[in-house]
Amino acid sequence: MKKLLLHTCCGPCLLSAQLALRKKYHIIPFWYNPNIHPYREFKRRLNAFKEVVGENESIIDNTYDLKLYFNAVEWGDNRCEGCYRLRLSRSADIAREVGIDLFTTTLLISPYQDISLICDTGREEGIRAGVGFLCQDMREHYEEGHQMARDMGLYMQGYCGCVFSEEERYRKKK
């Protein structure tokens, strides 16, 4: 079975992606999310990732570098593009370094993310790193995977992870 490095944003989306991909690929989950703020949230999501992965093979880069993240997003309207590029660039590099020639991301599960921008960015970073990017719309598995997460008592976050998204979440509640 072909190996696939799966950049993973959170435990619930990992469960969803496994539903979509496990029949065709040997999935190697990869954690790299310096966008998640605050640090307590970062740790909660990392722990949920570890809970889903269990004893299975995975790769964790627990870099928490605020300067790197804020430089990548440039404080503008294109912040999501910068965030995607930061994480997908690292994912492509890791795939190449460990000898896996295909990668993708759980970001393609979420109905709240820009799938075409993710795919364009993933392809560009794959070409740069010399690996392929799997652009597969996995949103049909979003609800089922998230229900599995709820059934497991897994931590379920309420925003994408970035400080900007958190602010938008709370502003909408007012």
CATH number of the domain residue 13 falls in: 3.40.50.620
Report the pLDDT value the prediction gives residue 46, as an integer from 0 to 100: 96
What is the three-class DSSP state of 81? helix
Interatomic CA distance for residues 103 and 32, integer angstroms? 13
Report the pLDDT value the prediction gives residue 97, as an integer from 0 to 100: 98
* Summary count for the chain: helices (H), strands (E): 7, 5
Interatomic CA distance for residues 71 and 93, integer angstroms? 19
* Total number of domains in the chain: 1
Are 51 and 154 contacting, i.e. CB atoms less than 8 angstroms apart? yes
Looking up tokens 């799938």 gives: 115
pTM, to two decimals: 0.91
CA 27 to chain centre: 14
How many C-beta atoms lie closer than 10 Å to residue 140's C-beta?
Answer: 11
Give Dmax over CA atoms of the chain in angstroms: 50
φ/ψ (deg, to 5) at 25: -135, 150
Looking up tokens 């970001």 gives: 107
Domain residues for 89? 2-173
pLDDT in tens, the chain (174 residues): 999 999 999 999 999 999 999 999 999 999 999 988 889 999 999 999 999 999 999 999 988 888 888 788 775 667 778 889 999 999 999 999 999 999 999 999 999 899 999 999 999 999 999 999 999 999 999 999 999 999 999 998 876 655 666 566 556 655
Report the pLDDT value the prediction gives residue 80, as an integer from 0 to 100: 78
Interatomic CA distance for residues 23 and 59, integer angstroms? 21
